[in-house]
Structure formats: structure tokens, C-alpha cells
């Protein structure tokens, strides 16, 4: 009934090639899994901005515009002010969810990473594969969100497209930290609670998302300063409608985010290798 033959995989396994491409193999697997949920991923990417734009852009926007008169906020219509923040927020959130849930699943729930590590794949490749597949999903989300924004007339595609890049940059930098944090989290419940309640909500609300950060009292502005969303939003506003920031601050925004990336990835490599060999 069964025949188990050797078809010569021993010759087919090219360890050097596998070592070079390991990250790609992990990405292939992650993207295949995402493909299973493609419908829900896309619909959340479309519906989420749609609802925000209707409620905030139109609802709050009408109110703000009527108060502020033709000057709007920061010299532009409210929806133009809001758009870069929403795009940055969705990029950060999507990137974050793709580097946290799969990591908890990999180390804790289904222990998939241990199965991967029983092959020639190394901890570093598994970390990078997870990271880059999150990036691909985030690019997809940004593209969809951006098209919705354009469709709504919130932004002008020709002028505003660089804010897609700044959003991706910030999401990728912060995603590196979250990748490491999820790999370091031994207690998944605690981690998810902390992330959901103490991280996502305050970041979203206190990062100058819905009104300029400096209209808040000084202590609360601190949250914005550490928040990747604020740095990303500032850059997005700068590139999309010429929001005024000093050259020093532009550099500060870029460097701060870059620091998150470098620290995050090296911490992540360390945690992945540690968890897999424990």
C-alpha cells in the first residue's frame, strides 16, 4: 500500500542555497498563511479607513472647519490634516499585528517556530522572514488605504504619495521593536493586554493624530514624543501638504525611528535564538 522511496533529495538539498534563501522560505510560508485570510485582511483594510473617514473626516471635520473657518487646522482642511495620521496609524497597527500574533503562535500557541527550527532554518532567518512578510502585508494595506483616501478626496495622489513611504518607514521601524517584544514575551496574556490597553490606544489618541500635539498640556506631549505614530505623522504631514517643521526636527524624526529599527532587530535576533535553543 505504501512505497517509500528515495528520490534523491540528498542531492537536492543544497545547504548553501538554503542558508542564503532561508528568510525567503519563511516569508513564503507566512504569505501562504495570510493568503488564507486574504478576504478578511483586505476588507479590514478598506472598511477601517472608510469608517474613520466618514466619522472623523466628515463628522468632526465639518465641525472643526466650521469653527476654524477657511484657515482649517494647520492651514489646511481637517481631512487633509487627518489623512497622514490615519495612514501612519493603519500602517503601524497592521505591521504590529503581523509581528506579534504569529510570533506568539510560533513560540507559544502552536510552536511553529520550533518546527521551522528543526529544519536548516536559523532563528535569525525565522525572525527576518516574519518581519519581511509583515512588511509586504503592510505595503498592501498602505496601498489600499491610500486609494481610499484618494477616492474620498482627502488627499491628492500626485502630491501626497510620499506619505505612503514615511508611513511604511515608521511602521517598519516600530515593527522591529514589537517583533522583539513579542519574542521576549513569555506570558502571552499579559503581553496582549499590555499591548492592547497600554500601547495601542494611548499611541493612537495621544500622538497628535486628531489635533496638533502642541495643543495638549506638556506632560501628555511626552507620550507623543516617544510614540512612533507622532514622528510618522509629522513626517507624513510634512511631505503631503508642507506642514512646517524645522530641518533639525526632520532629522530627529528619521533618526529616532531608525534607532527603533536597529535596536529592535538586534534585540529580536537575540530573543529568537535564545527562545529556540532553550
Partner 1 sequence: MAKGLTKKYGEFIALNGIDFSVQKGESFGFLGPNGAGKSTTMRIIASTLTRTSGDITVLGKDPEVSGPEIRAHLGVVPQQDNLDQALSVSDNLYIYGRYFGLPRKFIRSKIDELLDFAALTDKRDSKVEALSGGMKRRLTIARALISEPKILMLDEPTTGLDPQARHILWDRLFRLKEQGVTLLITTHYMDEAEQLCDRLMVMDKGSIMAEDSPSGLIKKFSTKEVLEVRFGSDRNAQVAEKLKTLCERMELLPDRILLYADDAEKVLDEIHKIGLHPVTSLVRRSSLEDVFLRLTGRTLVE
Question: Cα separation of 275 and 265, whole Å?
Answer: 15
- Asked if 108 interacts with partner 1 (CB under 8 A), we say no
Task: Assign 23 to helix, strand or coil.
Answer: helix
- Asked if 10 interacts with partner 1 (CB under 8 A), we say yes
Task: Assign 154 to helix, strand or coil.
Answer: coil
- Asked if 215 interacts with partner 1 (CB under 8 A), we say no
| Residues 6 or more apart in contact with residue 56 via CB below 8 angstroms | 82, 86, 210
N-terminal to C-terminal alpha carbon distance within the chain: 41
| Residues 6 or more apart in contact with residue 42 via CB below 8 angstroms | 140, 144
- Asked if 17 interacts with partner 1 (CB under 8 A), we say yes
- For partner 1, how many residues bind (rule: CB under 8 A)? 41
Nearest to 227 by CA among 73, 53, 88, 82: 88
Shortest Å distance, C-beta 138 to partner 1: 20
Shortest Å distance, C-beta 173 to partner 1: 28
- Asked if 40 interacts with partner 1 (CB under 8 A), we say no
- Asked if 199 interacts with partner 1 (CB under 8 A), we say no
CB 209 within 8 A of CB 89: yes
Cell of 50: 472608510
Q: Which stretch binds partner 1 (CB under 8 A): 19-27, 133-141, 202-210, 246-254?
A: 19-27
- Asked if 36 interacts with partner 1 (CB under 8 A), we say yes
Question: Cα separation of 255 and 103, whole Å?
Answer: 27
Task: Assign 76 to helix, strand or coil.
Answer: strand
Q: Which stretch binds partner 1 (CB under 8 A): 73-81, 108-116, 157-165, 247-255?
A: 108-116
Q: Which stretch binds partner 1 (CB under 8 A): 49-57, 116-124, 157-165, 213-221?
A: 116-124
- Asked if 115 interacts with partner 1 (CB under 8 A), we say yes
Cell of 99: 509581528
Q: Which of 93, 97, 122, 233 binds partner 1 (CB under 8 A)?
A: 122
- Asked if 5 interacts with partner 1 (CB under 8 A), we say yes
Kindly list the residues in this chain that would bind partner 1 in the complex (CB under 8 A).
1-10, 12-15, 17-19, 21-22, 25-26, 28-29, 32-33, 36, 110-112, 114-122, 276-278
Amino acid at each position: 500500500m505504501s512505497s517509500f522511496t528515495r528520490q534523491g533529495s540528498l542531492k537536492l538539498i543544497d545547504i548553501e542555497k538554503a542558508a542564503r534563501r532561508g528568510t525567503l522560505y519563511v516569508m513564503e510560508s507566512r504569505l501562504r498563511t495570510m493568503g488564507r485570510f486574504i478576504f478578511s485582511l483586505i476588507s479590514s483594510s478598506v472598511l477601517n479607513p472608510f469608517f474613520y473617514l466618514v466619522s472623523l473626516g466628515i463628522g468632526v471635520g465639518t465641525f472643526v472647519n466650521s469653527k476654524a473657518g477657511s484657515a482649517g487646522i494647520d492651514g489646511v482642511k481637517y481631512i487633509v490634516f487627518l489623512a497622514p495620521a490615519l495612514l501612519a496609524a493603519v500602517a503601524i497597527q497592521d505591521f504590529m499585528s503581523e509581528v506579534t500574533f504569529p510570533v506568539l503562535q510560533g513560540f507559544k500557541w502552536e510552536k511553529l517556530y520550533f518546527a521551522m527550527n528543526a529544519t536548516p532554518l536559523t532563528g535569525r532567518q525565522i525572525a527576518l522572514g516574519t518581519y519581511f512578510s509583515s512588511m509586504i502585508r503592510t505595503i498592501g494595506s498602505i496601498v489600499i488605504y491610500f486609494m481610499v483616501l484618494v477616492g474620498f478626496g482627502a488627499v491628492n495622489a500626485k502630491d501626497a504619495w510620499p506619505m505612503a513611504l514615511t508611513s511604511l518607514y515608521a511602521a517598519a521601524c516600530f515593527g522591529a521593536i514589537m517583533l522583539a517584544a513579542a519574542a521576549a514575551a513569555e506570558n502571552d496574556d499579559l503581553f496582549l493586554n499590555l499591548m492592547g490597553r497600554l500601547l495601542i490606544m494611548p499611541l493612537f489618541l495621544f500622538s497628535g493624530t486628531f489635533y496638533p500635539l502642541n495643543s495638549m498640556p506638556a506632560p501628555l506631549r511626552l507620550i507623543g514624543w516617544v510614540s512612533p505614530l507622532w514622528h510618522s505623522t509629522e513626517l507624513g504631514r510634512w511631505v503631503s501638504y508642507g506642514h512646517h517643521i524645522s530641518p533639525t526636527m526632520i532629522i530627529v524624526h528619521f533618526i529616532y525611528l531608525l534607532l527603533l529599527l536597529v535596536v529592535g532587530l538586534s534585540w529580536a535576533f537575540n530573543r529568537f535564538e535564545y527562545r529556540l535553543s532553550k
